[in-house]
Amino acid sequence: MNGELFAVLIIVFICLYGLIKKTDIFSAFNEGAKDNLKTAFDIFPSLIFLLTAVGMLRASGAIEAVADKLSFLFSAIGFPADCLPLVLIRSVSGSGALAVLDDILSKNHPDSITGRIASVMMGSTETTFYTIAVYFSAIRLKCTGRTVIPAVAADITGFVCSVLFVRLLL
């Protein structure tokens, strides 16, 4: 079943369910849309900050400079140096990480070990700081300490296991 048909079936199901339950579907939709617009307005400053910070880091070359400085250390343990910029930006920006992945795959063949490791990293890690900023600002929670440490540990685990499993399964 293709995606468009599935979306239409879900919409039809929701409408039929609302009719059976005698719910004013239009009012419920408007109320939900109004709540979502309030949430979007609340998280907008966090999104602007993150997008600006990522843009500045990429434009300044800071990510590549840090990756160049750390590449000898990571190469010694079998971590591809080309994947370091991905490690540095993945937790902050999904679109920035996609751009870095595109750079990696254009320099290295997608079936190369570096291309495979980078692809597995993209699939097994999350835009942690972006997600925390969006969700915590939506509920107006300021203290993120108990969330950040395990989330970063999960990302590090994803990065390390990406290298280990790709090398193991080749």
Cα–Cα distance, 83 to 124 (Å, whole number): 14
Predicted pLDDT at 162: 92
Residue 166 has pLDDT above 90, yes or no: yes
Q: What confidence category does residue 2 fall into, taking pLDDT thresholds of 50, 70 and 90? A: confident
Q: Over the chain, what is the mean pLDDT? A: 84
pLDDT digits (tens, 9 = 90+) for 42-54: 777 777 877 787 7
Structure-token match 């609340």, residue found: 42
Predicted structure pTM score: 0.67
Q: 73-110: b or e for each residue (b if 16 or more CB lie within 10 Å)?
A: ebeeeebbebbbbbbbbbbbbbebbebbbeebbeebee
Predicted pLDDT at 105: 92
Q: What percent of the chain has pLDDT over 90?
A: 15
pLDDT digits (tens, 9 = 90+) for 61-105: 887 788 788 777 777 778 888 888 888 888 888 878 888 898 899
Residue 117 has pLDDT above 90, yes or no: yes
Predicted pLDDT at 1: 59
